[in-house]
Structure 1
Amino acid sequence: MKNYLKNYKIQTPQIIISFFLIALICLAFILDMDLVVLLNESLIKLVMNGILVLSLIPMINAGAGMNFGLPVGIIGGLIGLCLAVNFRITGLFGFVMSLLFSLVICLFLGWIYGLILNKVKGREEIAGTFIGFSFIPLMNYFWTLVPFQNREMLYPIGGQGLRPKISLENYFSNVLDDMWLLQVGSLEIPVGLFAFYGLVCIFIYLFFQTKVGRATIAVGENEAFSKLSGLDISRIRLIAIIISTVIAGFGICVYSQSYGFIQLYDEPLSMAFPAISAVLIGGSTGKKAYIFEAVLGTYLLQTMYLLTIPIANEILIPELTEILRTFITYGIILYALLIKDRRGNKQ
């Protein structure tokens, strides 16, 4: 990692988005917006979305491609959150219990997901996309039929089926955001939120220092040579996929407590592409990824989203803001995927 940081070179995607961000900051200053508030929000957005981006790293480095099946891990995390709310567990303990529930569920889902991807080597990204998109409708039936008892989670009429949005206000909303808040002038730094983010980063770093972690990188770099060296390719890939799925489950738990709501039904469909775009914008080739790339890409992407909408509201008519947001979101995703293909061709 140290050698990587020494040799890291700023690439075209980072330059373009950095210039765009500088232009947005200048516009925000001209429009007399509160830059400190925007900076506060950008720090929270980094961690809210950052763990989902970090979850891509084990799979990428194992040679399993970009995890377009990210909704599999997200669903595991959502089930864990719903269980904690159904049992009415509140505060930090409630959040920790949601992580434990998510861990158990994601271990199982990741194992099934890994077995499937091992059967379609070389086509993992296509298979992951179809798995993610087909798993969501299946889970939509689950959300409508699951026999949870907490009335705050259920539709008010009929008393069956979970609501599309479940409030965490009475449970563990912002439990990490409000933990150990550090006040620097008018800037509030959520130390608890960053501590959790740091723990996930440290876990990923330490994993790749282990024997299995180094074998994972070796498999991703040269599968044929790894096989000749006696490595169990399928087992190593399976471990990486399970770890990615578990981290994705944790990621949606962190996202939901910061957002204040559990979002069910079709919401997980929209989370895979922005996460993949972030790691690509951070400098990943799509065949190898580092923690630094995930952090940088997430901050650039989320800060750009954060600044674009309020500035557009000031300059444009409100009806155009949502159109602009959608255009920018999918434009960046397309750009990130084009970068991936170009880097892959160079390699």
Structure 2
Amino acid sequence: MGKTLENQSTLRGFIDRFGMPRLIIAAFVVLLFVMAPIVGADLTMQIGNVINRFSWNAVLVLAMVPMIQSGCSLNFGIPLGILSGLLGGTLSIQLGFTGVASFFVAILLATPFAVLVGGGYGWLLNKIKGGEMMIATYVGLASIAFMCMMWLLLPYTSPTMVWGLSGKGLRTTISLDGFYDKALANFLAIPIDPEDGLYFPTGSILFFAVLALGIWAFFRTKTGTAMTAVGSNPQFARAAGINVNRMRLLSVIMSTWLGAVGILVYQQGFGFMQLYMAPNNMTLPTVSAILIGGAAVNKASIPNVIIGTVLFQSIVTLTPTVVTAMIHMDISEVVRMIVSNGMILYALTRVMKGEGSR
């Protein structure tokens, strides 16, 4: 009897720590993996797709951590970082860099843009403490609209990027073939199903692991601890002599830079660069992933990033495939839109209720 009670207590403790909503989502993901071969979907292909999508999106989700930890709330202004990354990527191609070098040059060129706009964004958030999420949303939308004009006006001349007839303005979608397409993914790639072109993106996963380890280590330094204290209790942090505004500003710059790097990682895996309104499609899925992973509005961790990205991308990838195979109709895009927006809605209701990791 005592052992039974102990087991029940252990199970209850696990559920409390992991969270019932995440257990339900994880169980649904397992069900999808079980159903995939039953309805005729290639299970190996689906696993490979989930791994690939994780490698594309994980750094973007990681970009949420610094701002959450500092109390700046969820980074709905991540388009600023994404646009900085797009500027770095387009400039790298414009300057004629190719192969793996073009990827690291793109990061180098994106960094000053990310620091500059991140600094301005952080200054703005320090002026409107308490309303960060709403202001960040409008900042993101405004920056995307501004860059829609700039993509047409900036003096790019690379024939790979500009419109063919006019020779001016950047195309909506730019192929990265010959530039940094699979720059990370092909590094030490492990074959999963070579006939279908399916490989384990070792380089992309390692790159994410290095960045995640760097963030983990940073939050164990004196500065990182001060940043966490600001997010947990700004009044106490101020009384302890911590410059609250400086910590918040630093976190926003870090988040913006990670967003710039994250979109470059996404592009190298995807194989294309998408401009104009495309960055707007990255914000809500990224925010939702970190929330589904168990983050709160002022507390996030690397496990939250990994769990959230895996769960979100698994459902978005597997649900359309399984449903389409079950009803024998190609409605994959419709199902993907319903599921992804449903997950976003669920995640946002969690944060509105103030639920986070326990």
Relative to structure 1, the CA distance from residue 152 to residue 65 in structure 2 (aligned partners, 3 Å threshold; closer, same or farther) is same
In structure 2, give the amino acid aligned to 1:322. E
Give the match for residue 263 of structure 1: 274
Q: Is the 8 A contact 2:19 2:357 kept in 1?
A: no
User: What is the TM-score of this pair, normalised by structure 2?
Assistant: 0.91
> 252, 275, 283: which is aligned to 1:241?
252
Alpha-carbon offset, residue 344 of structure 1: 4.7
Give the match for residue 60 of structure 1: 68
Give the match for residue 285 of structure 2: 274
Q: Secondary structure at the match of 1:166?
A: strand
Give the match for residue 76 of structure 1: 84
For 2:289 and 2:241, the matched residues in 1 are separated by: 35
Q: 309-318 or 14-23, which moves further after superposition?
A: 309-318
For 2:357 and 2:58, the matched residues in 1 are separated by: 28
In structure 2, give the amino acid aligned to 1:294. V
For 1:246 and 1:8, the matched residues in 2 are separated by: 34
Relative to structure 1, the CA distance from residue 307 to residue 162 in structure 2 (aligned partners, 3 Å threshold; closer, same or farther) is same
Relative to structure 1, the CA distance from residue 110 to residue 262 in structure 2 (aligned partners, 3 Å threshold; closer, same or farther) is same
Aligned length: 342
For 1:68 and 1:275, the matched residues in 2 are separated by: 9
Alpha-carbon offset, residue 185 of structure 1: 8.2
Alpha-carbon offset, residue 113 of structure 1: 0.8
For 2:51 and 2:126, the matched residues in 1 are separated by: 37
Alpha-carbon offset, residue 314 of structure 1: 2.1
Unaligned runs of 5+ in 1: 1-5
Give the match for residue 115 of structure 2: 107
In structure 1, give the amino acid aligned to 2:227. T
For 1:19 and 1:199, the matched residues in 2 are separated by: 30
For 1:275 and 1:286, the matched residues in 2 are separated by: 14
**What does residue range 120-131 of structure 1 map to in structure 2 within 5 Å?**
120-131=128-139
For 2:44 and 2:330, the matched residues in 1 are separated by: 27
For 1:127 and 1:331, the matched residues in 2 are separated by: 24
In structure 2, give the amino acid aligned to 1:55. A
1:25 aligns with 2:36: no
> 199, 204, 227: which is aligned to 1:216?
227
Q: Is the 8 A contact 2:15 2:23 kept in 1?
A: no
For 2:297 and 2:55, the matched residues in 1 are separated by: 22
1:89 aligns with 2:121: no
For 2:354 and 2:251, the matched residues in 1 are separated by: 23
Alpha-carbon offset, residue 98 of structure 1: 0.6
User: What is the TM-score of this pair, normalised by structure 1?
Assistant: 0.94
> 251, 257, 273: which is aligned to 2:262?
251
Q: Secondary structure at the match of 1:267?
A: coil
For 2:297 and 2:257, the matched residues in 1 are separated by: 20
Relative to structure 1, the CA distance from residue 346 to residue 9 in structure 2 (aligned partners, 3 Å threshold; closer, same or farther) is closer
Q: 318-327 or 228-237, which moves further after superposition?
A: 318-327
Q: Secondary structure at the match of 1:152?
A: coil
> 4, 15, 19: which is aligned to 1:11?
19
For 1:75 and 1:225, the matched residues in 2 are separated by: 36
In structure 2, give the amino acid aligned to 1:50. A
1:308 aligns with 2:316: no
Alpha-carbon offset, residue 339 of structure 1: 1.4
Q: Secondary structure at the match of 2:190?
A: strand
**What does residue range 287-326 of structure 1 map to in structure 2 within 5 Å?**
287-316=298-327, 318=329, 320-326=331-337
Percent of pairs with identical residues: 34
> 140, 148, 160: which is aligned to 2:168?
160
In structure 1, give the amino acid aligned to 2:30. I
Flag the structure with larger Rg. Answer: 2
Unaligned runs of 5+ in 2: 1-13
**What does residue range 150-229 of structure 1 map to in structure 2 within 5 Å?**
150-183=158-191, 188-229=199-240
Q: Is the 8 A contact 2:55 2:208 kept in 1?
A: yes
For 1:345 and 1:195, the matched residues in 2 are separated by: 28
For 2:330 and 2:150, the matched residues in 1 are separated by: 35
Relative to structure 1, the CA distance from residue 284 to residue 94 in structure 2 (aligned partners, 3 Å threshold; closer, same or farther) is same
Alpha-carbon offset, residue 27 of structure 1: 2.0
Alpha-carbon offset, residue 182 of structure 1: 2.5
Q: Is the 8 A contact 2:160 2:174 kept in 1?
A: yes
Relative to structure 1, the CA distance from residue 8 to residue 54 in structure 2 (aligned partners, 3 Å threshold; closer, same or farther) is farther
Any idea what the Cα deviations from partners look like across 1:88-122, whole Å, max 9, x if unmatched? 21111111101111112101111111111111111
In structure 2, give the amino acid aligned to 1:24. L
Relative to structure 1, the CA distance from residue 144 to residue 317 in structure 2 (aligned partners, 3 Å threshold; closer, same or farther) is farther
1:117 aligns with 2:125: yes
Give the match for residue 7 of structure 2: none
Alpha-carbon offset, residue 316 of structure 1: 3.8
For 1:266 and 1:297, the matched residues in 2 are separated by: 25
Q: 249-258 or 25-34, which moves further after superposition?
A: 25-34
Q: Secondary structure at the match of 1:121?
A: coil
Alpha-carbon offset, residue 343 of structure 1: 3.3
